[in-house]
Amino acid sequence: MDVAVLGLGEMGGTHVGAMRASPHVGAIYGYEPDAARAAARGKELGVQATNDLAALLRNPAIKLVSIASINAVHAAQAIEALRAGKAVMCEKPMAESLADARRMVEAQRETGGFLQIGFELRYSRIYTLAKEWIDRGLIGTVVNSHCRYYCSEFHSKNTWRSNSPGTLIGEKLSHYIDLQRWFTGSEVEDVFSMHAPNVVPYFNHPDNHQINMRFTCGAIADLNFSMYVAESDHRDPLLEMLEKQADDGHCLQYHIFGTKGAIETDVFRRRIRRWAFTDSPERLVSKLAETVRYTPADDNAWIHNTHGQNLRIIELVAKGLPPETPASDSFETMKAGFAAEVSERERRIVRMSELATA
């Protein structure tokens, strides 16, 4: 099948790379709204790029549209592509408002089309291994999970990211909320979130968040994020220099506690560990049961597997299979993020039942 990538920036280049590597793909087309940029990026990436989106969507040979454009246009482009009969892979965040995310799910239902959101951490080995351990019952029932994510400012002044009034909850933390839902296997019931005054003065949104969630099963989760403590590095800290960054202020860890054990994922130490709990006459006994490490060559597959995710989505579409994560599931992740924003604005616990359903 022929395919198209909308938005030929950094992530657009990654999407083109997966399409080129897929045995299911013929011609690759690209779209950028500015004609000169379309021509320049098309040449750099070796794709036929245009600034005429309507013409791309009219092309019957294009079966899959991959959206890697700026967040503000995700919803409109996904809906237009679904209505044109295309399968759609759309980068996170789904949209900048809950109403727009809901419109995407509605368009998917109306058209019966394929829509999967780019929550690539569900394809990244460090997290799929944690999920396998949970599903095998190795830590019992998940009751509590903590995510700590500290990094440097790598969004830069005067970019769409730092200028956006939309918070980093959608742009970055939706990945980590999504994992907490996935690990817990339950739906978020209520959310309380706070942020401190900014350290980064030129961000048009908070640079830190502390999000607390309670799930319907009784489990709780928290997510603690700040974007300034780590030593400055102008590349994505998830992709480069992990060894250097392991002890310079960067931190990306989950601690997942269950009734029979616990799991720790540690991106900057390239390690995942599991503890097993047993009873004894005196106390609950905990034993470190398993440690799995990976090498720098495997970083992308273990912590940032956009490539593997995209290859899989292309395969699903080519074989006429449904998305592995339905858009309605990703909507629940987005909804928890929007609930956190409401909580921060209104300084109160927000019940998920107050917000729209998909």
Ligand X SMILES: NC(=O)c1ccc[n+]([C@@H]2O[C@H](COP(=O)([O-])OP(=O)(O)OC[C@H]3O[C@@H](n4cnc5c(N)ncnc54)[C@H](O)[C@@H]3O)[C@@H](O)[C@H]2O)c1
Cα dihedral 281, 285, 290, 293 in deg (nearest 10):
-170
In order, the DSSP letters of 100-151 are HHHHHHHHHHHHT--EEE--GGGGSHHHHHHHHHHHTTTT-SEEEEEEEEE-
Tell me if 91 contacts ligand X by CB under 6 A.
yes
Residue 185 CB, shortest distance to ligand X, in Å, is 22
- Side-chain-facing half-sphere of 124: CA atoms under 13 Å: 25
**Stretch touching ligand X by CB under 6 A, among 65-73, 179-187, 223-231, 349-357:** 65-73
List the one residue from 39, 73, 229, 292 that touches ligand X (CB under 6 A).
Answer: 73
Q: Which is nearer to ligand X, 91 or 190 (CB)?
A: 91
Number of residues that bind ligand X (CB under 6 A): 22
The two most distant CA atoms of the chain are separated, in Å, by: 74
Taking the C-alpha atoms of residue 116 and residue 108, their distance in angstroms, rounded to an integer, is 10
Which string of x and - marks every residue 152-191 that binds ligand X (by CB under 6 A)? Answer: -------------------x--------------------
Tell me if 354 contacts ligand X by CB under 6 A.
no
Amino acid at residue number 324 = E
List the one residue from 27, 70, 143, 289 that touches ligand X (CB under 6 A).
Answer: 70
Bridge partner residues of 293 (DSSP):
271
CB 231 within 8 A of CB 153: no
List the one residue from 3, 4, 12, 178 that touches ligand X (CB under 6 A).
Answer: 12
Residue 101 CB, shortest distance to ligand X, in Å, is 13
**Stretch touching ligand X by CB under 6 A, among 26-34, 185-193, 242-250, 290-298:** 26-34
Tell me if 69 contacts ligand X by CB under 6 A.
yes
**Stretch touching ligand X by CB under 6 A, among 2-10, 105-113, 183-191, 280-288:** 2-10
- Side-chain-facing half-sphere of 174: CA atoms under 13 Å: 28
Question: What is the pairing mode between strands 48-50 and 28-31?
Answer: parallel
C-alpha 13 chain-centroid distance: 17
**Residue with smallest beta-carbon separation from ligand X:** 9
The total of other beta-carbon atoms located within 10 Å of residue 307's CB is 17
List the one residue from 3, 5, 8, 65 that touches ligand X (CB under 6 A).
Answer: 8
List the one residue from 3, 7, 95, 352 that touches ligand X (CB under 6 A).
Answer: 7
Q: Which is nearer to ligand X, 156 or 286 (CB)?
A: 156
Q: Which residues bind ligand X (CB under 6 A)?
A: 6-12, 31-33, 37, 68-71, 73, 91-92, 118, 120, 171, 306
